[in-house]
Amino acid sequence: MYTLPNKLKVFALVFMVVGAIGIVAGFLSTPKTLEEVEAIMAEANHDGGHATNDHDTAAPEMHQAVAHEASQEMDHSGHQIAQEGHQMVASDHMDQDAHQEHMEHVMQQMQNRPWSALYIASFFFFMIALGALAFYAIQYAAQAGWSPVLFRVMEGVTGYLPVASIGILILLLCSALGINHIFHWMDADLVNPDSPHFDKIIAAKSGYLNIPFFMIRAVIFLLGWNLYRWISRKNSIADDTAEDQSFFKKNFKLSAGFLVFFIVTESIMSWDWIMSFDPHWFSTLFGWYVFAGMMVCAITVIALVTIFLKSQGYLEEVNDSHIHDLAKFMFAFSIFWTYLWFSQFMLIWYANIPEEVTYFITRIEDYKMPFFGMIAMNFVFPLLLLMNSDYKRVNWFVVMAGIVILSGHYLDVFNMVMPATVGDTWMIGVPELSSVCFFFGLFVYVVFNTLTKAPLVPKKNPFIKESKHFHY
């Protein structure tokens, strides 16, 4: 049996506490008034700040100039000059209104930032747990002979799923209740024909994109995934003391059925929880794209946890061939992710349809560093680090590749969420780093605590002997 070391427990708790403090600080530092927004923008961009100040001071001078000119020329041109003066004043008022509306939009984007950072980190660790669950089900359904010695590690990673589900549901509920505004389409004015903000495209999608149906789908998805996780875990532990293979057979049938449910619900989940941040945009590849990122992150974490446990003297049955196979999956899904990313990008970019290509233009122009950095970390580095078969057997090499992959896919989620919620006001600062710290600490604590609840190697799995003697 595995025992949670005190050092690891303290390590996780420190990350959680530091992260929680940073999250609170991130929310407190958000601007509450338009004056604070203008001050922040002036500090970030001196030119913009000067322009704003000039605009504010120019208004009364404009009024005076117009009035003076009108009075001087009244004798010569009468009502014509006066009319032009009124038009100039009206135009100035319109400029002021547009400026104020822009400032309000920027303030909302800045207020969205800590919520978006929290959502990105929450979803990132959630998808690791969900991906591990899918990978676990695949191994059962395929009756794989190499992987049973890793089943309890997979179950440990999926142990985070119930906690992650509560977290993601709370964040979705906050959006549905109007506590935050990261989901733009939830604004009631957008589907109100009498509102000046009425959006025909979003209104046309309101049969699907509406808050009650959105939350119902979320609850169904989370219940289905967690129910499978609970039943399969229960059967797996019961199988250790069973006299026959009935529990293994139950898990086999359950896993096959779950995979059908998963592939449908995962696609819809990606549309709801990620793609709907850009409600005008869509991609038929998006579900597969999110799935590929989810799987590579999950397999990477399974490999890292396995290597850590082996370094602590556990999982003696796990050899370098098991690590090699995990690294192969890391490499394969990295290539698969790249293929899907390029297919999605190339087709949209080549077609150059404005309402589609704007998705990538925004990210290339405003998110150049995380956008291209993500591609390098998710494709170039895995290609260089894991292509060689011998390197896949070297633990520290796999760990190094794994850290790069996980960092890259965090940036991937960052790129999918931030442009639609905070626009060009983004940065990677206290809210982002604190959110990652908090959920990382929570993830480590829950996963390794779950590993203490059952033996690290299943005893009665019919393929356990084959797995223990697996060599490639």
User: Would the pTM count as exceeding 0.85?
Assistant: yes
pLDDT at 151: 96
pLDDT for 256: 96
Q: What is the pLDDT of residue 46?
A: 55
What pLDDT, on a 0 to 100 scale, did the predictor assign at position 157?
97
Stretches where the chain sits below pLDDT 70 are 44-95, 97-102
Side chain identity, residue 311: S
Residue 62 has a pLDDT of 39
pLDDT value of position 82: 43
Angle at 30 between CA 24 and CA 31, to 5 degrees: 150
**Amino acid 9: pLDDT:** 95
Q: What is the pLDDT of residue 111?
A: 87
Per-domain residue ranges for the chain?
Answer: 111-468
The predicted pLDDT at position 108 comes to 81
For residue 446, which phi and psi values (nearest 5 degrees)? -65, -45
